[in-house]
Amino acid sequence: MPIESVNDFVLRFANVNGSGSASANEMFARAVMRMGIPVSPRNIFPSNIQGLPTWYEVRVSEAGHLGARGGTDFMVAMNPQTWDKDVASIEPGGYLFYDSTKPMPSGKFRDDITVIGVPLTAICNSQYTDPRQRQLFKNIIYVGALSALLDMDVAVLEKLIGEQYKGKEKLIQPNIHALHLGRDYALQHLTCPIGLKLQHSDGVGDRILIEGNSAAALGAVYGGATVCAWYPITPSSSLAEAFTSHCKRLRTDPETKQNRYAIVQAEDELASIGMVIGAAWNGARSFTSTSGPGISLMQEFLGLAYFAEVPAVVFDVQRAGPSTGMPTRTQQCDLINCAYASHGDTKHILLLPEDPAEAFEFGATAFDLADRLQTPVFVMLDLDIGMNQRLCRPLRWDDSRVYDRGKVMTAAELEAGKDFGRYLDVDGDGIPYRTYPATHPTKGSYFTRGTSRDRYARYTEEGGAYVDNMQRLLRKFDTAKDLVPRPLRANCEKPTRFGVIYFGSTSPAMDEAIAMLSAQGQHLDRLRLRAFPFHHTVDDFISEHDFIFVVEQNRDAQMRSLIVNECGIDPARLIPVLHYDGTPITARFITGAIGDRLDTLKVTPLRKAAS
Partner 1 sequence: MTYLTKPKFQHPDLPKNALGYTHRDYEGKISTLCAGCGHDSITAAVVEACYELSIEPHRVAKISGIGCSSKTPDYFLGNSHGFNSVHGRMPSVLTGANLANRDLIYLGVSGDGDSASIGLGQFAHCIRRGVNMLYMVENNGVYGLTKGQFSATADRGSKSKRGAVNSDNAIDLAALALQLGASFVARSFSGDKTQLVPLIKAALEHKGAAFIDCISPCVAFNNHAGSTRSFDYVREHNEAVNHLDFITGREEIKVDYEPGSVELVKQHDGSTLALRKLAKDYNVNNRLAAMSYLLERNAAGEVVTGLLYVDPESDDMHAGMNTVAQPLNSLSDKDLCPGSSALDKINAALR
CA 280/CA 311 separation, integer angstroms:
6
Of positions 343, 441, 474, 565, contacts partner 1 by CB under 8 A: 441
Residue choice 110, 197, 251, 497 for contact with partner 1 (CB under 8 A): 251
CA distance 529 to 516: 21
The interface region with partner 1, picked from 90-98, 258-266, 464-472, 574-582 by CB under 8 A, is 258-266
H or E element that contains 609: helix 606-610
Q: Which one, 39 or 514, has the nearer CB to partner 1?
A: 39
Q: Binding to partner 1 by residue 253, rule CB under 8 A?
A: yes
Could you say whether residue 242 binds partner 1 (CB under 8 A)?
Answer: no
> Which are the contacts of 52, defined by CB distance < 8 A and separation ≥ 6?
16, 17, 46
Binding partner 1 by CB under 8 A: which of 300, 468, 544, 556? 300
> What 3-state DSSP class applies to 177?
helix
Closer residue to partner 1 (CB): 33 or 575: 33
Q: Which of residues 34-93 bind partner 1 (CB under 8 A)?
A: 34
Q: Which is nearer to partner 1, 148 or 304 (CB)?
A: 304
Indicate the DSSP class of residue 128.
Answer: -
Which of 152, 176, 277, 563: binder of partner 1 (CB under 8 A)?
277
Cβ neighbors of 47 (< 8 A, separation 6 or more) are 234, 326, 327, 328
For residues 389 and 210, is the Cβ–Cβ distance under 8 A? yes
Question: Among residues 222, 231, 498, 547, which is the contact residue for partner 1, using CB under 8 A?
Answer: 222
227 binds partner 1 (CB under 8 A): yes
Least Å from the CB of residue 446 to partner 1: 7
Least gap, CB of 282 to partner 1 (angstroms): 4
Choose between 445 and 561: whose C-beta lies nearer to partner 1.
445
Q: Could you say whether residue 461 binds partner 1 (CB under 8 A)? A: no
Residue 258 engages partner 1 in binding (rule: CB under 8 A): yes
Residue type for 604, please?
T
Site for partner 1 (CB under 8 A): which residue of 78, 266, 295, 585?
A: 266
Which residue, 123 or 277, is less far from partner 1 as judged by CB? 277
- 31 near partner 1 (CB under 8 A): no
Given candidates 192, 208, 564, 569, which one binds partner 1 under the rule CB under 8 A? Answer: 208
Look at strands 53-61 and 8-16 and give their pairing.
antiparallel
How far is it, in rounded angstroms, from Cα 534 to Cα 503?
A: 12
Supply the DSSP symbol for 144: H
User: Does the footprint of partner 1 cover residue 226 (CB under 8 A)?
Assistant: yes
Of residues 168-207, which lie at the interface with partner 1 (CB under 8 A)? 206-207
- Nearest-approach distance from CB 17 to partner 1, in angstroms: 26
Residue-level length of the chain: 611
By rule CB under 8 A, what count of residues binds partner 1? 73
Cα 581 to Cα 5: distance, rounded to the nearest angstrom:
29
Residues 388-417 that bind partner 1 (CB under 8 A): 394-399, 401-403
Main-chain phi, psi angles of 76, to 5 degrees: -95, 95
In terms of Cα–Cα distance, which of 288, 250, 249 is closest to 266? 288
Cβ distance to partner 1 smaller for residue 433 or 532: 433
Nearer to partner 1, 199 or 448 (CB): 448
- Under the binding rule (CB under 8 A), the answer on residue 279 touching partner 1 is yes
**Considering only CA atoms, which of 44, 48, 41, 50 is closest in space to residue 14?**
44
Helical H segments across 309-445, by residue range: 335-339, 356-373, 383-386, 411-415
C-alpha separations of 45 from 196, 222, 329, 473, 593 in Å = 26, 31, 8, 43, 27
